[in-house]
Amino acid sequence: MSAQARSRTDLLLALADDELALGWRNSEWTGIAPFLEEDVAFSSIAQGEIGHARALYELAAADLGTTADELAFDRPPQDYRCAPLVELRFVPDWARTIARHYLYETADAIRIAALAESDRSAIAALATRIEREEVYHRIHADMWAERLRASGERARFEAALAELWPLALGLLAGEQREQLCEAVSREPVEPVERGEHADEWPVLWEEMTMVRRSVPGASW
Amino acid sequence: MVTEERVWAALAAVADPEIPVVSIVDLGVVRDVEVEHGRVRIEFTPTFLGCPALEVMRERMADAVRALGAEPDVVVIADGGWSTDLITAAGREKLRAAGFAPPAPREATAPTLVQLERGPFRCPYCGSTDTRLENIFGPTPCRSIRYCASCRQPFEQFKTL
């Protein structure tokens, strides 16, 4: 595999791992969100993110001669490339959950727009499709960010944003970071780079892969 | 002999697993059918990438092709070539009659919260546009929840994709 192809596959895996881990974290609100409507919303968003992870894994799997399921569940935890932002467990903290949702969806839009310009047509086509679905995640995230800012919990929400901001920058690379600063009106800070995993990650990995590991090679 | 026409006719009888009143052809998700030497290649796209009905749809299409005595090859395509605008007129009417408001046409720019809140979305039961957004998300990724202030009925609205 050429160096260029390798870096493209690495990028697909980083994105897919982010979407899978965040999809998992979002699904933790199913049944216990502060409102019934948010139970439905976070469950649906989780399903959307995991669907995007699957499609991205499939593209990477074609390059690597493997399958989406093997990439999603059969790698050792240290081989995943997800950013620490998506690994953190926030249940039952709604302020941090919405802060991550808002920062992640804004950052995701920037990198998906860049992918839609990819010179590899399958990647560009998938990015175009993902963006049409992500728009609804973003409307939801923006709506909640607005709502918390206008609420009595504004200070708590702003503190969560400030805390997660260096992690959010770590989702992106290069000039995309400047675009994110502009999109969320924040000053650049030292990013927490992808590579080191959060303490919660091995626990999430354990849970996420448990069923598949219970019967190796089974067809579900 | 298997022809493309016969395959299309067979697929037109394959119901959507979640909304069985419409077929996968009504939804416009069958993108292409090619027949060559007894093999049938179907290109198909999910309505949403995370659609859990994907595998079931794929199996049902494969079964429909096998019933014609041919070997199926169902390929999933994920690109920008499909949108809810490709749901057929007959499909939209079947959705509406079953209580699902069909999707609004795609516009040049992406949907916004203001559009979802203020747009003239029509109640599939009474036809009123005095409806409000209850939840952008619904029981499946492709639907939102709205409420009709006129007939006081909540209903599911297809998202525009």
DSSP, residue by residue, A128-184: HHHHHHHHHHHHHHHHHHHHHHTSTTHHHHHHHHHHHHHHHHTTS-THHHHHHHHHH
- Tell me which chain B residues have a C-beta less than 8 angstroms from the C-beta of A40: 135, 137-139, 145
CA distances A182 to A53, A83, A137, A175, Å, are: 27, 21, 20, 11
Question: In B, which residues are within 8 Å of A34 by CB distance?
Answer: none
Q: What is the mean pLDDT of residues A138-152?
A: 98
Is the pLDDT at B39 greater than 80? The verdict is yes
A112 vs A144: CA distance, rounded Å: 22
Q: Is the CB of B79 less than 8 angstroms away from the CB of A37?
A: no
| CB contact set of B108 (below 8 Å; sequence gap of 6+) | none
Substitution target from A132, A133, A135 for chain B, most B beta carbons within 10 A: A132
Q: Quick check: A135 and B110 CB within 8 A?
A: yes
Rounded distance between C-alpha atoms, residue B61 and residue B72, angstroms: 8
Interface contact A147, partner B, CB < 8 A? no
Res. B144 pLDDT band, cuts 50 70 90: very high
DSSP symbols for B41-92: EEEE--SSTT-TTHHHHHHHHHHHHHHTT-EEEEEE--STT--GGGS-HHHH
Nearest CA of chain A to the CA of B40: how many Å?
23
Q: How confident is the model at residue B1 (pLDDT cuts 50, 70, 90)?
A: confident
Element (H, E) at B158: strand B153-158
- B54-108 pLDDT, tens digit each: 889 999 999 999 999 999 999 999 888 899 999 999 999 999 999 999 999 999 9
Could you give the C-alpha distances from B106 to B85, B102, B103, B158, in angstroms and in order?
7, 12, 8, 12
Residue A57: its chain B contacts at CB < 8 A?
Answer: none
Peptide bond into A92 cis (omega under 30): yes
The predicted pLDDT at position A216 comes to 86
Q: In this structure, are residues B113 and A139 in contact, taking their beta carbons and an 8 Å threshold?
A: yes
From residue B88, give the alpha-carbon distance in Å to each of B12, B23, B85.
12, 10, 8
Instruction: Tell me which chain A residues have a C-beta less than 8 angstroms from the C-beta of B141.
Output: 44, 47-48, 51, 133
Of A47, A130, A140, the CB nearest to B136: A140
Residues from chain B that touch A52, judged by Cβ atoms under 8 A, are: 49-50
pLDDT at position A82, please? 98
Instruction: Determine contact, residues B74/B44, Cβ cutoff 8 Å.
Output: yes
Average pLDDT over residues A5-14: 93
Mean residue pLDDT across chain A: 96
pLDDT of residue B40: 97
Beta strands in chain A (DSSP E): none
The predicted model scores a pTM of 0.95
A 152-211 residues with CB < 8 A to B: none
Choose the closest CB to A37 out of B83, B135, B161.
Answer: B135
Cβ contacts (< 8 Å) between A47 and chain B: which residues? Answer: 50, 52, 141
Three-state SS at B32: strand
The pLDDT value recorded for residue B52 is 83
Give tens-digit pLDDT for A73-132: 999 999 999 999 999 999 999 999 999 999 999 999 999 999 999 999 999 999 999 999
pLDDT value of position A185: 98
Q: Identify whether the C-beta of residue B62 lies closer than 8 Å to the C-beta of residue B7.
A: no
| Closest alpha carbon to A25 in A58, A4, A53, A57 | A53
